[in-house]
């Protein structure tokens, strides 16, 4: 690629490479630290539940992410968010008006939810910038791999040991270094998506395999966490990749995946009575059977949202006021991500959030550039589609790891769509080709 083409590409993506290289030592440490600290939400062994005040919601990774954004703002020209992200951010700010002026309730709920959404949006902005640099992305994934391995020690110790390090109120359920089992399940699912989507297409064989192994390990956290929607999502994710990835039939990686997936299904079928009698098995069975029921927690919230639509549509109750769909049950926030965004932030908020999710999927032509691009496209598509399933009973719109994934995905797709014949997939413009010629999809 010529120098003029590189400068044109950098101008399109909003970076000024010549003034301050993005791959500085400080930025590498920040990217690595963000990945490493993502699961470190609490070290308190006593279960306290979900906090309601702002300070209790701040984790060490939030402070590091804020410092990282500060460095990017002062030393680099930060990646401009797409229109959908700007719309979403504006809707969050506007939602303070009905929350503080119109809808009744304590103000602390408003500011706690507002800060949580802004923190998550900060990780989206960090992802936008990390995705522009293959070097920073690699450091991020390296830190996340170590975090998953460390978290696995805690999770499986508490799952098999009678003396737990981080006890959960429900017997046989694990929460790890999180304040609730739902947070552990969401982290495992999203960390698995981040690692396998962007780690499986790195050209360094050893790093590639480490990322894939850690992705599988992370995705399995949903089972000891007893995250019922997560269990369904992991199996649905595997099945969808088996279908959409059929174009890679004959490749070694796909044969290994398909063989392993089918073997797991056969073993589960053969020993289903034993599996069903286990705690995780009972939770999974209840999750599947509840899908066809007309009554249940999720169904009740949908019904309450419909009955109260004349009160919140189209501007929403306001940020942190979603519990007003049923004033008699003010202890339960809206668990469906899309419904929560719509009820609290209004139609504009939901449009912005859906736009952020759809944006990485809008451009498809770049996937035909090479087998590596095609594999990345399949992994990205399958994870985002199954994320929709996961969000039916999860608040991923304020999840750090998921918003980080969205940011990285948005920039990677944008860069690969705008570059010329030479691909910069996981390689900074102008950098030496330090990876082997062979790739995962060609193995």
How many domains are there within the chain?
1
pLDDT in the model for residue 357: 94
441 within some domain: no
Between vectors from CA 178 to CA 170 and to CA 155, what angle results, nearest 5°? 70
Tokens of 134: 């293959």
- Residue 430 is predicted with a pLDDT of 43
Nearest Cα to 151, choosing from 114, 87, 207, 195?
Answer: 195
In a domain, 2, yes or no: no
Question: Using CA of residue 30, residue 31, residue 34, residue 36, what is the dihedral sign?
Answer: negative
Q: Is the peptide bond before 323 cis (omega within 30 degrees of 0)?
A: no
Cβ partners under 8 Å of residue 397, min gap 6: 117, 120, 337, 340, 341, 353, 391, 403
Q: Which residues contact 259 (CB under 8 A, 6 or more apart)?
A: none
Q: Domain limits at 197?
A: 7-428
What residues form DSSP beta bridges with 336? 394
d(C-alpha 140, C-alpha 92), whole Å? 28
Q: Is 379 part of a structural domain of the chain?
A: yes
Please give the structure tokens belonging to residue 85: 């992200």
pTM: 0.87
Would you say 9 and 437 are in contact if contact means Cβ atoms under 8 Å apart?
A: no
Q: What is the pLDDT of residue 269?
A: 84
For the chain (443 residues), the mean pLDDT of every run of 10, in chain order, is 42 44 89 95 75 74 95 85 95 95 88 92 95 92 97 93 86 87 92 94 84 95 88 92 90 90 89 78 72 67 86 91 79 84 95 94 83 90 94 88 96 80 48 35 34
Q: What pLDDT was estimated at residue 201?
A: 79
Q: Which residue has the tokens 């522009």?
A: 132
Residue-by-residue DSSP string for 221-271: GGTTTT-HHHHHHHHHHHHHHHHHGGGGTTSHHHHHHHHHHHHHHHHHHHT
For the packed helices 3-13 and 400-418, what is the interaxial angle rounded to 10 degrees?
140
Among 187, 184, 179, 183, smallest CA distance to 159 is for 184
> Do 180 and 366 meet the contact criterion of CB atoms below 8 Å apart?
no
What is the distance between the alpha carbons of residues 149 and 154, in angstroms, rounded to a whole number? Answer: 9
Q: Helix, strand, coil shares of the chain as percentages rounded to 5? A: 70, 0, 30
SS3 assignment, position 39 = coil
What region does 250 belong to: left with phi over 0, alpha with psi -120 to 50, or beta? left
- pLDDT reported for residue 371: 84
Tell me the C-alpha distance between 378 and 203, whole Å.
Answer: 17
Token pair belonging to 89: 């951010």
Residues with Cβ within 8 Å of 284's Cβ and at least 6 positions away in sequence, in order, are 228, 231, 232
In a domain, 435, yes or no: no
Round to whole Å and give the CA distance between 190 and 38: 11
State the pLDDT at residue 3.
39
CA 413 – CA 333 distance, rounded (Å):
34
**Residue 439 included in any domain:** no
User: What angle separates helix 134-160 from helix 181-199, to the nearest 10 degrees?
Assistant: 140
- Residue with token string 């002026």: 101
């Amino acid at each position: 690629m010529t120098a003029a083409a590189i400068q044109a590409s950098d101008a399109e993506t909003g970076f000024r490479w010549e003034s301050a290289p993005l791959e500085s030592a400080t930025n590498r440490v920040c990217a690595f630290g963000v990945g490493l600290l993502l699961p470190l939400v609490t070290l308190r062994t006593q279960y306290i539940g979900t906090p309601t005040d702002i300070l209790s919601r701040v984790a060490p990774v939030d402070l590091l992410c804020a410092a990282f954004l500060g460095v990017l703002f002062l030393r680099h020209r930060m990646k401009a968010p797409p229109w959908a992200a700007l719309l979403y951010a504006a809707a969050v700010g506007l939602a303070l008006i009905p929350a503080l002026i119109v809808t009744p309730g304590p103000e602390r709920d408003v500011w706690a939810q507002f800060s949580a959404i802004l923190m998550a949006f900060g990780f989206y902005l960090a992802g936008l910038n990390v995705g522009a640099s293959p070097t920073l992305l690699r450091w991020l994934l390296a830190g996340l791999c170590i975090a998953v391995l460390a978290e696995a020690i805690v999770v499986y110790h508490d799952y098999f040991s009678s003396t737990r390090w981080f006890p959960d109120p429900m017997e046989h359920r694990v929460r790890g270094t999180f304040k609730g089992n739902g947070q552990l399940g969401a982290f495992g699912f999203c960390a698995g998506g981040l690692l396998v989507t962007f780690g499986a297409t790195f050209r360094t064989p050893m790093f590639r395999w480490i990322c894939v192994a850690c992705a599988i390990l992370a995705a399995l956290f949903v089972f000891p966490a007893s995250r019922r929607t997560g269990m369904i999502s992991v199996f649905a994710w595997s099945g969808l990749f088996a279908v959409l990835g059929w174009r890679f039939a004959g490749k070694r990686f796909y044969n290994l995946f398909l063989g392993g997936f089918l073997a797991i299904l056969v073993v589960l079928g053969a020993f289903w009575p034993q599996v069903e009698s286990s705690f995780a098995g009972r939770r999974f069975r209840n999750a599947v059977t509840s899908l066809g029921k007309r009554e249940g927690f999720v169904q009740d919230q949908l019904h309450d949202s419909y009955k109260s639509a004349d009160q919140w549509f189209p501007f929403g109750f306001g940020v942190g006021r979603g519990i007003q769909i049923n004033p008699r049950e003010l202890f339960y926030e809206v668990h469906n991500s899309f419904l929560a965004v719509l009820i609290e932030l209004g139609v504009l908020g939901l449009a912005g959030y859906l736009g952020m999710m759809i944006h990485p999927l809008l451009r498809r032509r770049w996937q035909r550039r090479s087998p590596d691009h095609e594999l990345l496209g399949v992994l990205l598509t399958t994870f985002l589609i199954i994320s929709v399933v996961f969000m039916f009973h999860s608040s991923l719109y304020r999840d750090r790891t998921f918003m980080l994934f969205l940011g990285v995905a948005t920039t990677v797709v944008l860069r690969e769509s705008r570059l010329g014949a030479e691909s910069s997939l996981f390689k900074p413009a102008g950098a030496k080709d330090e990876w082997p010629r062979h790739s995962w999809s060609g193995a």
